Amino acid sequence: MPSPAATASFSTRVIRWQRSHGRHGLPWQGTRDAYRIWLSEVMLQQTQVATVLPYFERFVARFPTVRDLACAEEDDVLRLWSGLGYYARARNLHRAARAVLATHGGSFPTTFDELARLPGVGRSTAAAIAAFAAGERRAILDGNVRRVVARHAGIGGDPGARETLARLWAEAEARLPADEIEAYTQGMMDLGASLCARHKPSCLACPVSADCIARLEDRVAELPGARARKPRDHRRIAMLVVCCQGEVLLEKRPPAGIWGGLWSLPEAPAACLPESVAASRWAMRESTATPLAPFRHAFTHFTLEVVPWRIDVRSRSTLACEPGTTWLALDEVAAAALPSPVKKLLAAL
């Protein structure tokens, strides 16, 4: 554990660096609006700032208040989120907005304890919102900050392991400044996103490199430690692109699991005969099946191999509409709540 003098020195250097070299002018900065800060923090989970910016702007334009978001249909929320990935975040975003409306009357909470009760808001996210919205003195430990702390304090081991995580949190809390928590919190985020990068960090420009254990002991490349990983799973499916007169058949996915709540293409075992599936599921007797180029899509824990088939039918009247199915015009695909790989597949048509 660093001494009080070292702790003050660390935080002072981070704050000074952030003011001169950190990120400024982002659309969620310079405000105490907890709603906008919350939106940005959820979107930035496992996603880079450059990717988040256009999504954030569209969300704020479409849902300027938490009440607007809470009253929206889930499909509208997922449609705006489409392409950002990790769709559980969007579903939790919608659930949390409704919780704020029901529990707080539409006034977004700003204290750590209240924020941590919202769906999809963990310890680090709640701390960041409380710090930026209310100046609450809380430590954060997102992926970038964890890397800074692990290197500076020389903490190895699996960062997902309970003991290692407890040490990282203790060090993060020990480094908190007495005041100026907003600049410090932003500075820690900015350090991890820029200078203290995972590969080829810029140690010479880092404001806290003088007493960084990883640099002093030549352990930068090994810290933070690697997470224990299971062998990557592979799954293989067929996607059926059922087309009729410029429209495509879609099915609503279950709320849980991959692409939860989105509209997507019907799926079948990869070894299926697409004409047989069309005939048995939708009574499509007169159809033509054409193979399309297979592709892969990587998720966090597995790789999905997709074998797509285009099935052309003469009339929609041959399809008995089932609950959770709809027809979508191909020229409306870009604006629909579809997974990114499905959008790319349909765009090629």
Q: Which residues belong to the active site?
A: 41
In whole angstroms, give the CA distance from residue 220 to residue 249: 51
Q: Which residues pair with 298 in a beta bridge?
A: 303
What's at 212, amino acid-wise? Answer: C
- DSSP secondary structure string, 149-215? HHHHHT--S-TTSHHHHHHHHHHHHHT--SS-HHHHHHHHHHHHHTTT-SSS--GGG-TTGGG-HHH
Q: Which residues pair with 235 in a beta bridge?
A: 304
In whole angstroms, give the CA distance from residue 35 to residue 106: 10
> What would the 3-class secondary structure string for 66-94 be?
HHHHHHCCHHHHHHHHCCCCCCHHHHHHH
- DSSP secondary structure string, 197-263? -SSS--GGG-TTGGG-HHHHTT-GGG-SPPPP-PPPEEEEEEEEEEEETTEEEEEEPPSSSTTTT-E
134 is written with which tokens?
């209310």
Is the CB of residue 92 less than 8 Å from the CB of residue 120? yes
Is the CB of residue 168 less than 8 Å from the CB of residue 159? yes
Is the CB of residue 106 less than 8 Å from the CB of residue 100? yes
